[in-house]
Amino acid sequence: MSEGRMLIVEDDFDISNMLRIYFQSHGYEVAVAQRGEDALEMCRKQLPHIIVLDIMLPDMDGYDVCRELRNNLRTSHVPIIFLTQKDERSDKIHGLELGADDYITKPFDLEELKLRVKSAISRATIQSLTNPTTGLPGGRLIEDQLRNLMRRDGWGILYVGLVGFDAFTEVYGFVAGEEVLRFMAMILGQSLDSLGTPNDFIGHIGGDDFIVISADKGSVDAMVEDLTQRFNDGVGTHYDWQTREQGYLLVRDEAGNETKVDLMTVAIGVLTEDDGPFSDIREITEAAATARREGREAKS
């Protein structure tokens, strides 16, 4: 099982290659970016569980990369470890003030860096900051965003779930199920890149339940249509060829009886401030869950 997804932002090929080989050998999925803009783009496409970030980059410094990540709701929770030749106290304080989780200077000990990486990921998971499968915010961070809704106007919520997910994992196993969840997280990000704003939020509640909090209630209908289309276009790749061709999944029970189950679809419930007023976040989540069950359309 993967230890987590790591993004290394380092323009020195020898260092980045050494880190990539080392952490891959310890079970991490490693991606490398040599420029700050590349790192930001990669985070938009797939959230890492941790970022190891050099300060000296060819296009923008690591401080600016950290600032942009922290100012975007979709990446603000990702742990960041600064990796730099600078060892002045003021440099460390500046990085920590921007929201970095840790700081290590070159030359560094690989074993020490590995322990710091593992500790940062563990802290985020234990504090329910991220879902270990998708890397999306979970638990407390979702609750914080929902509480913020009580002080905002013009918001909309998409409560997203997968119909047929349990049958899929029963046939293909939990590893394939985790791939589907990561696929769902990816297309949620793609949809917000296309239709949303940096102030929109994506969270993974748990299991196959996701939530999107939009700052613009007027965009939620388009998001529903876009997400549904992206899911339908891509979900077939998670099934074997024969199942895709026949258009249904055969699920066998303990007695050997087979049942036809439709391929997975996405179910989206829509809620906006117009459905309120709401007195607390529990009322919001209950109403959103009900909207998903009923398949209710967004209010115009």
Hey, what domains does the chain have and what are their CATH numbers?
A: 4-126 (3.40.50.2300), 139-294 (3.30.70.270)
**How high is the pLDDT of residue 299?**
36
* Residue whose entry in the numeric block shows the structure tokens 């965003």: 145
Measured distance CA(215)–CA(95) in Å, rounded: 29
**Residue 273 three-state SS:** helix
Neighbours of 82 (CB within 10 A): 27
Q: Model-level pTM?
A: 0.67
Q: Is 259 exposed, middle or buried (0-12, 13-18, 19+ CB in 10 A)?
A: exposed
Residue range 228-238, pLDDT digits in tens:
999 999 999 99
Kindly state the tokens that stand for 182. 């990561």
**How high is the pLDDT of residue 296?**
43
Give every CB contact of residue 229 below 8 A, 6+ residues apart in sequence: none
Please report the sign of the dihedral spanned by the C-alpha atoms of residue 44, residue 46, residue 50, residue 52.
negative
**pLDDT tens track of the chain, all 300 residues?**
678 899 999 999 999 999 999 999 999 999 999 999 999 999 888 889 999 999 889 999 889 999 999 888 788 888 999 987 766 666 677 777 777 888 888 888 899 999 999 988 888 776 657 788 888 888 888 888 888 887 888 899 999 999 999 999 989 999 999 999 999 999 999 999 899 887 899 999 989 999 999 988 889 999 999 999 999 999 999 999 999 999 998 887 777 788 888 999 999 999 988 888 888 888 888 888 888 887 644 333
Q: Is 111 exposed, middle or buried (0-12, 13-18, 19+ CB in 10 A)?
A: exposed
Region for 207 from its dihedrals, namely left if φ exceeds 0, alpha if ψ lies in -120 to 50, beta otherwise: left
